[in-house]
């Protein structure tokens, strides 16, 4: 079906249908993904997104530019809030031609004078168009359309200006006879008694569209009983965006950093997804001889953990925080920065560890080995650019962004302000060539000297959080070191920190400092804190 045919099917549906406001390509795609079968290109919302008044201050050609992006971004039909048609019958004819060229399914025009003023701004003082002139505009639109299913919705403001039911009925009937495909009956009351009265007298003679912005508390079931054809949610998307932007920008302005907002806003990866970045990557694979940056990940999750009854049968990586497993939350942060190829090394309770979206390798000796043995199980995955993580930590995605920005061949993440009150049995404290200096560039790296378990805090420069990265060259160094260490008699009892201490004897290891933004789930107290994290 064409988009115009889809819109006609919605308007003529025997059940009540719904259109969602959108004001640009992104909001249109989001509304479509949410499940709406049609969109309302709101004049108020488009104007607001351009920071101008809803008084025809944005020209109709500027509105067309926005509509073109909206149409390209979606497959569902769009009904334009066309105000008064931007002029007389001649402007109306040209508007319809230009809308059809852009794949817009229909237009709604209102019986006010050009330039219009929003209905909720002193509506009772606004003047309505002459009925005959407005009917001519409807007829001109219908005789201009090329697609027989293109829809023209006629909106009367009779209730808005206080003319009452009789005038509303008279105008609606005249517009129906002139060829309108539906009537939009508008009301600014906080309840829907005007709509109730109109629907009773109208008696179903033609589809009726409503916009319950003011009478939003009316149950949708009531509209269905009235026989309303289509309900338009007319401005909620732009208003929600305004609230979210105000909250986020105020937080950033007050904090002077991003750490407190990054976990609550859409990731850059989500923006890329909404804008079709994956399609471009696929096209690049087809048409270009080279590919972009690819980073993979290994998560070491073979351990049981010691959280009492919680880990009697369930591996620690599957403990839940607010209904989500630690592993899935960790994977979310990887995916936020574009890491989708994630290998999990399982051990204890592996029959339960079967989330979709991961590759799995099994440490058959999880009972008598430690995390370095698990990493060696994944040796064939150690190639290219790679992030390695413990499976019992939660992190903020900005930590990954910073880690991936480090050009060093091997980089580890170190918290420069470790929690000295931590109840964890093991703390991988770090000595570096220089301490973190908060007055220096935060992104500057130090170099690892040594990792020492339970070093006195005053002698440490921070704590290794269990997250690190290697470049393709670093991966080769890592494989060589694993090969050398795997021949040791005590290899099964060695740890990742032992590996890093061995590498640093011959290769520099970069240290990326953070202050918080992560949590290690090592106790019931940690699990409780994770809920707030």
> Which of 397, 448, 399 shows the shortest CA–CA distance to 268?
397
Nearest-angstrom CA–CA distance, 244 and 265: 9
The structural domain count of the chain equals 3
**Helix 165-178, helix 131-144: angle, nearest 10:** 30
Q: 364 and 269 in one domain?
A: no
54 is catalytic: yes
Handedness of CA 495, 498, 502, 503 (dihedral sign): positive
| Residue 249 covered by a domain | no
| Residue 157 covered by a domain | yes
CATH code: domain of residue 389 = 3.90.550.10
Q: 512 and 422 in one domain?
A: yes
In terms of residues, how long is the chain? 533
> Which of 442, 465, 297 shows the shortest CA–CA distance to 378?
297
Q: 351 and 309 in one domain?
A: yes
- Cis previous bond, 415, omega within 30: no
Domain of residue 56, residue span = 3-242
Q: Kindly report each contact of residues 260-263 with a partner whose C-beta sits within 8 Å and lies 24 or more positions away, as own/partner.
A: 262/396, 262/397, 262/398, 263/396, 263/397
Handedness of CA 95, 97, 103, 108 (dihedral sign): positive
Q: 279 and 237 in one domain?
A: no
For residue 265, give both structure tokens. Answer: 């806003």
Among residues 54, 83, 406, 498, which one is catalytic?
Answer: 54
350 Cβ neighbours under 8 A, 6+ residues apart: 315, 360, 362
- The pTM assigned to this predicted structure is 0.60
The 8-class DSSP code of residue 374 comes to H
Q: 360 and 300 in one domain?
A: yes
C-alpha 59: how far from chain center: 30
> Could you list the pLDDT tens digit for every one of the 533 residues in the chain?
899 999 999 999 999 999 999 999 999 999 999 999 999 999 999 999 999 999 999 999 999 999 999 999 999 999 999 999 999 999 999 999 999 999 999 999 999 988 777 777 665 667 899 999 999 999 999 999 999 999 999 999 999 999 999 999 999 999 999 999 999 999 999 999 999 999 999 999 999 999 999 999 999 999 999 999 999 999 999 999 999 999 999 999 999 999 888 888 888 878 888 998 778 767 766 676 645 678 999 999 998 777 778 777 888 888 888 888 999 999 989 988 889 999 999 999 888 888 888 999 999 999 999 999 999 999 999 999 999 999 999 998 889 988 998 999 999 999 988 776 665 567 889 999 988 776 554 445 789 999 998 777 778 889 999 999 999 999 999 999 999 999 999 999 999 999 999 999 999 999 999 888 898 888 787 788 877 77
Last residue of a domain, one of 211, 242, 273: 242
Beta strands in 157-302 (DSSP E): 182-185, 208-210, 230-233, 295-301
- How do residues 203-219 score in pLDDT, each as one tens digit? 999 999 999 999 999 99
| Residue 364 covered by a domain | yes
Q: 520 and 477 in one domain?
A: yes
Nearest-angstrom CA–CA distance, 56 and 77: 23
Q: 477 and 334 in one domain?
A: yes
For residue 216, give both structure tokens. Answer: 């939003």
Q: 272 and 299 in one domain?
A: no
- According to DSSP, the β-strands at 106-110 and 151-156 are parallel
CATH code: domain of residue 173 = 3.20.20.60
Number of Cβ within 10 Å of residue 260's Cβ equals: 14
Q: 436 and 313 in one domain?
A: yes
For residue 392, give both structure tokens. Answer: 């019992």
């Amino acid at each position: 079906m064409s988009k115009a045919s889809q819109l006609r099917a919605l308007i003529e549906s025997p059940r009540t249908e719904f259109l969602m406001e959108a004001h640009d390509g992104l909001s249109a795609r989001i509304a479509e993904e949410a499940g709406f079968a049609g969109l309302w290109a709101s004049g108020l919302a488009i104007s607001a997104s351009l920071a101008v008044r809803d008084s025809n201050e944005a020209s109709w050609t500027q509105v067309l530019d926005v509509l073109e992006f909206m149409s390209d971004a979606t497959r569902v039909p769009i009904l334009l809030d066309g105000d008064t048609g931007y002029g007389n019958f001649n402007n109306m004819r040209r508007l319809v031609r230009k809308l059809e060229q852009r794949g817009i399914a229909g237009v709604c025009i209102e019986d006010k004078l050009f330039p219009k003023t929003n209905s909720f701004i002193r509506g009772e003082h606004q003047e309505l168009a002459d009925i005959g002139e407005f009917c001519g505009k409807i007829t001109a639109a219908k005789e201009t359309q090329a697609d027989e299913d293109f829809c023209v919705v006629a909106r009367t403001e009779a209730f808005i200006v206080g003319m009452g039911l009789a005038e509303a009925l008279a105008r609606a009937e005249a517009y129906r006879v002139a060829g309108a495909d539906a009537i939009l009956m508008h009301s600014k009351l906080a309840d829907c008694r005007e709509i109730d009265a109109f629907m009773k007298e109208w008696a179903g003679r033609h589809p009726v569209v409503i916009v319950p912005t003011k009478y939003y508390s009316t149950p949708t079931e009531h509209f269905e009983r009235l026989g309303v054809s289509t309900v338009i949610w007319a401005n909620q998307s732009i208003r929600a965006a305004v609230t979210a932007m105000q909250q986020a920008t105020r937080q950033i302005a007050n904090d002077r950093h991003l750490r407190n907002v990054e976990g609550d806003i859409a990731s850059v990866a989500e923006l890329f997804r909404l804008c079709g970045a994956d399609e471009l990557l696929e096209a690049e694979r087809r048409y270009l001889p080279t590919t972009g940056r690819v980073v993979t990940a290994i998560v070491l999750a073979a351990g049981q953990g010691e959280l009492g009854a919680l880990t009697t049968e369930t591996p620690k990586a599957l403990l839940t925080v607010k209904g989500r497993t630690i592993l899935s939350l960790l994977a979310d942060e990887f995916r936020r920065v574009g890491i989708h190829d994630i290998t999990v090394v399982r051990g204890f309770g592996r029959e339960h560890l079967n989330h979709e979206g991961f590759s799995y390798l099994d440490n058959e000796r999880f009972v008598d080995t430690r995390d370095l043995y698990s990493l060696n199980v994944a040796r064939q995955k150690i190639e290219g650019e790679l992030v390695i993580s413990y499976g019992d930590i939660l992190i903020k995605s900005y930590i990954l962004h910073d880690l991936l920005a480090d050009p060093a061949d091997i980089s580890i993440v170190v918290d420069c302000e470790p929690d000295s009150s931590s109840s964890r049995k093991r703390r991988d404290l770090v000595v570096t060539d220089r301490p973190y200096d908060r007055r220096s560039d935060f992104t500057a790296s130090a170099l690892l000297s040594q990792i020492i378990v339970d070093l006195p805090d005053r002698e440490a420069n921070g704590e290794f959080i269990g997250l690190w990265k290697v470049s393709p060259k670093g991966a080769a160094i890592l494989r060589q070191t694993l090969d050398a260490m795997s021949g040791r008699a005590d290899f099964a009892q060695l740890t990742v920190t032992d590996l890093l201490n061995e590498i640093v004897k011959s290769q520099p290891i970069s240290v990326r400092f953070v202050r918080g933004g992560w949590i290690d789930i090592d106790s019931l107290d940690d699990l409780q804190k994770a809920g707030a994290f």
